[in-house]
Structure 1
Amino acid sequence: MNKRQGWLVLLAATLQAGAIGTALAVPSVMQTNGRTTQPVGHYELCKRLPDECSQKTDVRAPVELTRTLWQAMVDINNEVNTAVAPRTDMEMWGKEEVWSYPASAGDCEDYALEKRRKLMELGVPAGDLLLTVARQPNGEGHAVLTVRTSMGEYILDNLDPRIMAWDETVYTYLKRQSERNSGVWIGINDGRADSVASVR
């Protein structure tokens, strides 16, 4: 059993026992290093939908990871991944980097936006649902949703049906929304990589 499998087994047992936040040490969280540039697609989204960039959150502990929340994360991840057909921005819009809520098709950031919206509708604070930009092992850019919880930070991804702790995924993390302000982006110091290159 590898580290990730062992963690998931322990997490499931703890959730089953209802002992969230007490039986386990908190897994690692992403180390951030200050404000950075906003992805151009998110900037354009904020011009079209200003409310997307006006969500402010006071400094506080991450949302408690309960059995109910975990199940909601699993259900929403599966629901959106199944309902939305993968299409590139060029196929849909004739240009790159168009971030939007998907109707029936979308690319990686569209999946992440929809999952974020659905979890917010259930009461999860905006500051715990962070759009995140990463690099895949093949060098291509990617976007996922990071969920900050009392038991660590988890990734909801359209390329993988599993919900995994951020440091158990194959990605190199570059930047994400600030937990304090949805219109601000902060850099990520992914200590698993020798270097992290910037993206626009």
Structure 2
Amino acid sequence: MRQGSGIRRLVRSGIAVLALGATTLQPMAGQAVAQTLASLGGGAAPAAITGEAKPVIAWSEFCRRYASECAIDPSEPDVVTLTPRLWQTIVSVNRAVNGSKRPVTDQEHWGVPDRWDLAEDGSGDCEDFQLLKRKLLAQSGLPRRAMRMTVVIDEKGEGHAVLMLRTDRGDLILDNKTSAVLPWQRTGYVFIKREAQEAGPWVSLGRAIGPAVTANR
């Protein structure tokens, strides 16, 4: 695949998702979305910040290569209101990226333990999936300030990257391991750290020691 062609197709898909969100939801679909939102509750407690944290080295390198992807407008809201149309956009982008990219470790892909990228050649690992979702959602109108790249320990005890979306219904997680968008408490992960975007580069979300890399598929 020619480099960049896959991401351009997904960018067009993201724009199409936004256009879909601007239309009227079908009655049955709208009812299902409303029920899903109701199940999230009225706003669960956000992931607690316990201090400052060092950013992942590969994140800093990514920001040097893709400065515009890391630029945050402080005037943007850091929490979004979760409407049925926004929920539909989030779920659609999560599924589209998960279903369109080939999972491969950075060691297999690039010959290095950890590299954060946008999966422009059609392959990537966990953080590449989430960074592409972040890009598409930003192009669909979501503020980057409300989206936080996050490091967790997964069910295998390995480092893993997810995308946290801060909403009035609580912090939601987009993950390449599932097409379900879940509240952070329901993922089963141990949350380590995430982008701060307010007071520093990254913040700690617990007392567990962070992984050196987030390089699983």
Shift in Å, 1:196: 1.3
1:180, 1:68 → 2: CA distance? Answer: 27
Question: Could you tell me which amino acid in structure 2 is paired with residue 155 of structure 1?
Answer: I
- Write the distance in 1 (CA, Å) between the matches of 2:77 and 2:102: 36
The answer for the alignment partner of 1:147 in structure 2 is 165
CA contact (8 A) 2:72 2:197 kept: no
Q: Residues 72-151 of structure 1: matches in 2 within 5 Å?
A: 72-103=89-120, 104-151=122-169
Deviation per CA, 1:86-111: give whole Å up to 9, x if none.
01101110111110001211000000
* 3-state secondary structure, aligned to 1:198: coil
Q: Distance in 2 between matches of 1:37 and 1:56?
A: 21
CA distance in 2 between partners of 1:171 and 1:179 (Å): 22
Distance 2:184 2:154 in 1: 13
Query: Which of 148, 171, 174 lines up with 1:156 in the alignment?
Result: 174
The TM-score normalised by the length of structure 1 is 0.81
Task: Pick which of 31-40 and 73-82 moved more.
Answer: 31-40
Q: Distance in 2 between matches of 1:173 and 1:154?
A: 13
Q: For the Cα contact (< 8 Å) 1:59–1:180, is it kept in 2?
A: no
TM-score for both structures, normalised by structure 2: 0.75
**Counterpart position of 2:15:** none
Aligned partners of 1:13 and 1:97: how far apart in 2? 42
Letter in 2 for 1:42: W
Could you tell me which runs of 5 or more consecutive residues in structure 2 were left unpaired when the two chains were aligned: 1-29, 213-217
The letter of the residue matching 1:47 is R
Q: 1:61·1:150 contact (CA, 8 Å) conserved in 2?
A: no
> How many equivalent residue pairs?
180
Corresponding residue to 2:85 among 43, 68, 81: 68
Which structure is higher in helix share?
A: 2
Deviations 1:116-146 (A, max 9, x none): 0111011111111111000012210000000
Q: Percent identity, aligned pairs only?
A: 32
Runs of 4+ in 1 over 4 A off after TM superposition: 12-15, 58-61
CA drift at 1:59: 8.0
- Out of 174, 184, 204, which is 1:187 matched to? 204
Q: Which residue identity is paired with 1:198?
A: G
Shift of 1:174: 0.4
CA separation of 1:58/1:186 partners in 2, compared to 1, >3 Å: closer, same or farther?
farther
Q: Contact 1:130 / 1:145 at 8 angstroms: preserved in 2?
A: yes
Preserved contact between residue 78 and residue 146 of structure 2 (Cα < 8 Å): no
Residue correspondence of structure 1 range 47-66 to structure 2 within 5 A: 47-58=64-75, 60=77, 62-66=79-83
Aligned to 1:169: 187
Alpha-carbon RMSD:
2.4
Q: State the Cα deviation string for residues 166-186 of structure 1 (Å, max 9, x = none).
A: 0011110100011437x8111
Residue identity in the other structure for 1:141: G
- Structure 1 residue identity aligned to 2:97: V
